[in-house]
């Protein structure tokens, strides 16, 4: 996985899904799933209101 989701922080709002240029994110019930089309661009991590996402370097 290329983006680390802190499930304990995430408020499952779906904002990250709306900005992912690769369409790699999906909000399922109360968690975010990351598909391997992720390019590690970091946009999702930048806009998350609570800082629940981190790109794995």
Of the residues 1, 14, 26, 56, which one makes contact with ligand SF4 according to CB under 6 A? 14
Of the residues 18, 31, 37, 40, which one makes contact with other proteins according to CB under 8 A? 18
**Which tokens hold the place of 8?**
């304990």
Task: Of 35, 38, 34, 5, give the one whose Cα is nearest residue 21.
Answer: 38
Of the residues 4, 39, 46, 56, which one makes contact with other proteins according to CB under 8 A? 46
Dihedral over Cα of 1, 54, 57, 17: its sign? positive
Given other proteins, ligand SF4, none, residue 18, with its beta carbon under 5 to 8 Å by kind, binds other proteins
**Which tokens hold the place of 41?**
């661009």
Asked if 54 interacts with ligand SF4 (CB under 6 A), we say no
């Amino acid at each position: 996985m290329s983006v680390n989701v802190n499930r304990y922080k995430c408020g499952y709002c779906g904002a990250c899904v709306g900005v992912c240029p690769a369409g790699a994110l999906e909000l399922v019930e109360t968690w975010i799933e990351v598909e391997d089309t992720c390019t590690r661009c970091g946009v999702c991590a930048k806009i998350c209101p609570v800082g629940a996402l981190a790109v794995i370097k």
